[in-house]
Structure 1
């Protein structure tokens, strides 16, 4: 016999998930405003408008809450770029262009989220859990990027070393994120334009100087 879904069970589950997400969003806010070292459970509870007891009930410790926050951000970013990759179609140039554009989409690229990312990255060296959490996802992204760069090399006969060029592209994108986080006047559109110009220089047979695809 097929079990009948329990609407009451779903109703009881939803608030718990909502509270956890509320606390994760408050943690991102606190990291962006106060930095890693100065963010406390009390700060997060106040930012979320909840009691310290509620925070402890859902996560038990600051470490657990920070790990859950990093997990959420890593999953969000991975889902975002993989979706852009798939929607771009099979052409390597279109996929590379989509990955670059995805990094400057408002859904993942805000000063608030960038500041939280850099707060975590600043702690990663001394926290193996953070390294393990992001390492596998970074590897998948790097492999996808290297594969696209290699495909463009094969298509047009470029003379570069694909892994090295993919690494330089990643480093350039991370540098633009840093500039955006610092708030020195650079906008998302300006950062995206700079990244598109890089594509035009690195792959002149695939992209125009402004990063538009050459057909």
Structure 2
């Protein structure tokens, strides 16, 4: 008897299936961010995510198997997005340390990253990080790389301007200020807007690096920050 082998899917069909899977995963991750922002960490359920994505609950289970795996994937996505965002801003700023530091600070308040929805989701994860080593590990490497860039830039500006501050402590203070401004924006503190937060950060730079930044305008033009998807 003659047998027939099943024809292998064409490359276009394979790509279509892959794209569909990736699209559904992304839908679920976006729905998880929505749910975290609306309900918080403990109240977010697989059913909420499925309903928010407009997909069946079986689809959620197929892609992520459990709430914990879904949340880990969501945190990984947000961490990667944030890392890609500030790295793109750093590259676009060129080699000048003042331009680079300005670009990093501006990037932190870009609407694609700094909005109530994502800030609330970040805060939901921050509240769980202490008791979940997986979350700490996911963000740890990115956080260390980000902090090291701030330290290096502060050190270069110190050498260039002859400042007397400690580069490590100054970088730590700058990072803490940016995190605090994010928290104020998330909490909806009175007069807390992206614009007021950017102004506060600019005031900090002008106070610490007066030879490189002024309160009227930066000494050098600052390039626009490229947005990430």
Shorter-chain TM range is over 0.9
User: Is residue 130 of structure 2 the alignment partner of residue 125 of structure 1?
Assistant: yes
The alpha carbon displacement at 1:210 in A equals 4.3
8 Å CA contact 1:41–1:62 kept in 2: the answer is yes
Runs of 4+ more than 4 Å apart = none
TM-score, normalised to structure 2, is: 0.90
CA offsets per residue over residues 57-85 of structure 1, 9 Å max, x none? 00000010000000000000000000000
- CA distance in structure 2 between the aligned counterparts of 1:214 and 1:74, rounded to whole angstroms: 30
Residue in structure 1 matched with residue 37 of structure 2 by the alignment: 32
The alpha carbon displacement at 1:214 in A equals 6.0
Residue 183 of structure 1, aligned match among 188, 204, 209 = 188
| Count of residue correspondences | 212
Residue 204 of structure 2, aligned match among 198, 205, 208 = 198
- Which structure 1 segments of 5+ residues have no match? none
Higher relative contact order (CA 8 A, sep 6+): 2
Residue 149 of structure 1, aligned match among 154, 157, 166 = 154
8 Å CA contact 1:196–1:211 kept in 2: the answer is no
8 Å CA contact 1:198–1:211 kept in 2: the answer is no
Higher helix share: 1
Residue in structure 1 matched with residue 214 of structure 2 by the alignment: 208
- CA distance in structure 2 between the aligned counterparts of 1:96 and 1:210, rounded to whole angstroms: 17
- CA distance in structure 2 between the aligned counterparts of 1:41 and 1:211, rounded to whole angstroms: 48
- CA distance in structure 2 between the aligned counterparts of 1:15 and 1:204, rounded to whole angstroms: 52
TM-score, normalised to structure 1, is: 0.96
Residue 112 of structure 1, aligned match among 109, 117, 133 = 117
Specify the structure having the higher radius of gyration (Cα): 2
Residue in structure 2 matched with residue 53 of structure 1 by the alignment: 58
- CA distance in structure 2 between the aligned counterparts of 1:101 and 1:153, rounded to whole angstroms: 21
8 Å CA contact 1:206–1:213 kept in 2: the answer is yes
The alpha carbon displacement at 1:189 in A equals 1.2
